Structure 1
């Protein structure tokens, strides 16, 4: 089974502002209107790429950006296609009642994870205001996908890009499964080293695996293998910021000699490729 572990729900104009779309799509080579994933487009993209399942993300940045992709919208999509989607809620710890909102999303709406966007909300992921949210996620047993790394959003606070900001969170919540989005790009090596220090941490390859050169991706995966955390990396695309078919093909190249690997390191084995492309993600959401 192929699982895309990082897919954004939402539709242009209905959910995202034109200004945000302009900023976010400028680095992809795609028009602003491409920041849209209506139901039929999303399913067609998955089918064309051979993607069986996706982690579908809500996105609450109302306080800073003035819009959101609501938890209810994602829950409705998941209810219509339970075999295709696992829904992740999104809350803003800078607003009152965030922990209660997460609890409602999981226990009443049926969502099975949490997506947070600290730098977009101009607050650190280690800000104590998040702690009640983390405690609730830990209690409910749901993973938390945290944006880490660069974003072209103009309102985002670059002080909160680094994945190393999650280290105190990992120490404070040792049973909380955290997924560091985008492998912390460009801080990929520190991100992998952080995973090696905390066994409950994971990371996804969205954007990094799609837009970095194949040798760069191979070098990061080789480092993850050496550090013993390759089995905690998840393939993802960040669709609609990237296409699924191209991303699947790029990952397939990493199983052959078509991509140069660092000296002393071999291409992905079939078992490693299967884990990256869905096995780890499936295991993560079954816990």
Structure 2
């Protein structure tokens, strides 16, 4: 039996899921000829010797089997109906049809969806450290969910053909460097932050020793930038300012900016007293010559309705960024129907109505596959240009060390 607190959590989750389970055929069932043709086109020019790469897949868990995963009870509480509703939507997107073994079933559904791809795919599965206070002690009130590094490292060891572990270490932890070294010894080369939610200020000079050790170990930082909507941030949206990433960049850390900072506004730290869209601040960093080779962006969530149209249009229209972008899905978010509006992409001229119909069929069956087929199908309405195949096979583990050595 689960402890009382976990049983209460499972009951609340069950209420959220009672009318929110994705139904339909399994991911491997045949598609219609139109949908299959779109899938075939999306994969036709990929290098058969290399897997498709997804750098942004979330691990989730309720800690049912003593695996250390955790969800803040507020996210399921009737006293917090909006959080509870959001959680129900995310759970629907996972495709898990029950809660008795959610942690196990989430992984099984994810792997089944990945194995249904027509070519091999490598999932970079994200850990999520707790929020920490400035004194280096955990902040349980601020922690929305927790996925330990050991959890993703162990899953990667059990599924080495599909999963690459992405660790998460809050740099204020008293054992931050030791944990970094231990994870690197197990092969981890990518680390994920969500500064807005984890209370991490990337510009804090106290983190310089941590950054230097990251560089020495060849660990790449995949960090959220821009406004955060999916996780509560306790008034800390300023921590998602892309310009705050100059500190790790200037110390030679290779940085991948999740979502290309495509949502919200922040203070323009180069012009105090003014504000600018986070995407514009990201582009400013990308255009600075000193960051060529060790600043990148991922395409996770960039097709969602709340981020359209400017960032997506801009990146499709500017091929000079292709070599500095990586594919990411932000799974399970592609399964949340409220943020996936293919009709709007038709209005923007990026999809045809027939492509939309086929994509919608793929989405109902396999949101993970849908995400990559959508991005391979999108075109710049002015030129017809699509993103190149190499972007979707770029391995983040190969990026460290490509930039200049420490710039300070």
TM-score (norm 1): 0.82
Distance 1:113 1:7 in 2: 13
How many Å apart are 1:160 and its aligned residue?
A: 1.1
- CA radius of gyration, larger in: 2
The equivalent residue for 1:250 is 374
Distance 1:59 1:143, change over 3 A: same
- Asked whether the 8 Å contact 1:78–1:85 carries over to 2, the reply is yes
Residue deviations 1:188-224 (CA, integer Å, cap 9, x gap):
2331331231111011111113446776454221454
The equivalent residue for 1:10 is 60
Residue deviations 1:91-128 (CA, integer Å, cap 9, x gap):
11222121111111111x32221112222122311112
Residue of structure 2 aligned with 1:71, choices 149, 167, 175: 149
Is 1:185 matched with 2:235? no
Residue of structure 1 aligned with 2:326, choices 226, 234, 245: 234
Q: Which runs of 5+ in 2 are unaligned?
A: 1-50, 64-68, 95-101, 132-138, 264-277, 335-366, 403-408
Distance 1:34 1:191, change over 3 A: same
Distance 1:26 1:183, change over 3 A: farther
Distance 1:158 1:167 in 2: 17
The equivalent residue for 1:47 is 115
The equivalent residue for 2:162 is 84
Distance 1:213 1:250 in 2: 15
- Asked whether the 8 Å contact 1:65–1:155 carries over to 2, the reply is no
The equivalent residue for 1:162 is 241
Distance 1:29 1:220 in 2: 33
Distance 1:24 1:148 in 2: 22
Report which stretch shifted further, 21-30 or 193-202.
Answer: 21-30
Per the alignment, in what secondary structure is the counterpart of residue 376 of structure 2? helix
TM-score (norm 2): 0.60
Distance 1:23 1:6 in 2: 25
Matches within 5 A, 1:85-104: 85-104=163-182
- Asked whether the 8 Å contact 2:302–2:308 carries over to 1, the reply is no
Q: Which runs of 5+ in 1 are unaligned?
A: none
Is 1:136 matched with 2:204? no
Note the aligned Cα RMSD (angstroms): 2.9
